[in-house]
Amino acid sequence: MTIRISKDAAEDLASATRYLAERNPRAATELVAEVLDLLERLDEGIFEGPEQQLRGGMLVRSWPLPPYRIYYRRRGGVLEVMRVYHQARRPITR
């Protein structure tokens, strides 16, 4: 399968990484590694998160990676990562 990261998800991860890098560069590196590891495992299709609807109406699945939640969907042979969203922020699901 192929992993495709949306512009919003890439911006989410870049923002989180910049924030952490200013305070703890090692934590920033570890976050990126943990996200990539989770995406590879999701891509393998061994497990699925619950289905949810984003405020914009899109149906997605999600999986926690505290304090973040990864929102994704599968289309054809592609795992599309829609958001890497901090769970303390305002919910993006209905």
Q: What is the mean pLDDT of the chain?
A: 96
Q: Residue 15: give the domain boundaries.
A: 2-86
Does residue 43 surpass a pLDDT of 80? yes
Q: In CATH, what number is assigned to the domain containing residue 35?
A: 3.30.2310.20
The mean per-residue pLDDT over the stretch 46-74 comes to 96
- pTM for the predicted model, two decimal places: 0.94
Q: What pLDDT was estimated at residue 46?
A: 85
Average pLDDT of the residues in 54-58: 94
Radius of gyration (Cα) for the chain, nearest Å?
Answer: 13
Domain total in the chain: 1
6 belongs to a structural domain: yes
Q: Is there a contact between 20 and 28 (Cβ–Cβ < 8 Å)?
A: yes
Residue 11: inside a domain: yes
Average pLDDT for residues 21-41, to the nearest whole number?
97
Q: Is the Cβ–Cβ distance between 38 and 65 less than 8 Å?
A: yes
